[in-house]
Amino acid sequence: MPPSPEVMAQLGGQKLRRVVYSEKDIADRVKEMGRSISETYTAEDDLLVLGLLKGSFIFLADLVREIQVPLHVDFLVASSYGAGTVSSGNVQLLYDPDASLADRAVLIVEDIIDSGNTMNRLLPLLAARGPKSLEICALLHKRIGALAKDARWVGFEPPKEFLVGYGLDYSENFRHLPYIGSL
């Protein structure tokens, strides 16, 4: 379904090629992922959900509401894109979580895994802090690069297009779209 004229006006003249995942597609998949995560962890795991900002914030908010075990939420900020549409390969950690990772089940929530550079850089840093377990949950996984540890939960394996919406951006635009589209 193409975006409405109102949404197109909000896009500042940029045109979406198509809607890749609708609001319903995303909501259904997030609910399934939350159910699976809930079956994996218990209250004794002391679950810490770490969202990678900025892209994961919408996905993370929806996901934690579907997880039915006690949890804490904190954030990381890492960047490898800048204003481009292709990862630069240079990952910068801009904000470190306040919460202790020691002896906790840590779940990293990412909006999209592209090249894997961000995860490959973050995982050793986080593992060195002594978590009981360290897993990845990604809404989208393009499976372009090799990961040191693959995502345990993946929402969708998207086409190799530049995607925006539902937290995904192009130069900080389009995060607010309630679906995922291709620019």
Instruction: Give per-residue pLDDT as tens, 135-152.
Output: 999 999 998 877 778 899
* pLDDT of the residue at 143: 85
The stretch 18-38 carries a mean pLDDT of 97
What pLDDT, on the 0 to 100 scale, is given for residue 125?
Answer: 86
Average per-residue pLDDT in the chain?
87
9 confidence band (pLDDT: 50, 70, 90): very low
Quote the CA–CA distance of 182 and 17 in Å, as a whole number.
Answer: 5
Pairing mode of beta strands 180-182, 163-164: antiparallel
pLDDT given at position 80:
59
CA–CA distance, 128 with 124 (Å, rounded to integer): 6
User: What would the pLDDT profile of 53-108 be if each residue is shown by its tens digit?
Assistant: 989 999 999 999 999 999 999 999 876 555 544 555 566 667 778 789 999 999 99
Domains of the chain in start order, with CATH, are 24-79+90-165 (3.40.50.2020)
Residue 87 and residue 108 in contact, taking contact as beta carbons nearer than 8 Å: no
Instruction: Give residue 30's pLDDT band: very low, low, confident or very high (50, 70, 90).
Output: very high
Beta strands in the chain (DSSP E): 18-21, 47-53, 71-79, 92-95, 105-113, 133-141, 153-156, 163-164, 180-182
Choose the most confident range, by mean pLDDT, from 9-13, 22-26, 53-57, 160-164. 22-26
Q: φ and ψ at 101, to 5 degrees? A: -100, -15
- CA 25, CA 180: separation in Å to the nearest integer? 10
One of 46, 62, 111, 114 is an active-site residue; which one?
A: 114
Q: What is the pTM of this model?
A: 0.85
Q: How far apart are CA 164 and CA 162, in angstroms?
A: 7
Q: What is the pLDDT of residue 4?
A: 56
- The region of weakest confidence among 2-11, 66-75, 119-128 is 2-11
114 counts as catalytic:
yes
